Amino acid sequence: MDVLERIGDQVKSNPVVIYMKGTPQFPQCGFSMRAAAALQECGVPFAYINVLQDPEIYENLPRYADWPTFPQIYIDGELVGGCDITLELHASGELKSLAEQAAAKGESAGA
């Protein structure tokens, strides 16, 4: 499978997914740490991909949605943005709402 197809599959099969450096438990950069913490505070399960462990994704993810930096957060198959946008959405309460809606949609689709 082509790496862009693999990324597309990950984005579409997970209601909420973050591509980050490290893991939510052991982030490898401050931006990834803050974005993952914002998602965790929403209380909605999310998937994560450690881009440092997959050189193909690290190299090609910026091409997938034309977003040059990490982390990248996708909700309901759409790019939400990086750290700054995620933190703004979290502060306004919108991140939690988006994540909850996507998770509920994912649960009903899987039922």
Would strands 78-81 and 16-20 be described as parallel, antiparallel, or unpaired? unpaired
Q: Give Cα 69 to chain centroid, integer Å.
A: 12
Residue 83 assigned ligand-binding role = no
Element (H, E) at 72: strand 72-75
Task: Please list, residue by residue across 26-47, b when 16 or more beta carbons sit within 10 angstroms of its beta carbon and e when fewer do.
Answer: ebeeebbbbbbebbeebebebe
Numbered residues of the known binding site: 29
Numbered residues of the known binding site for [2Fe-2S] cluster: 29
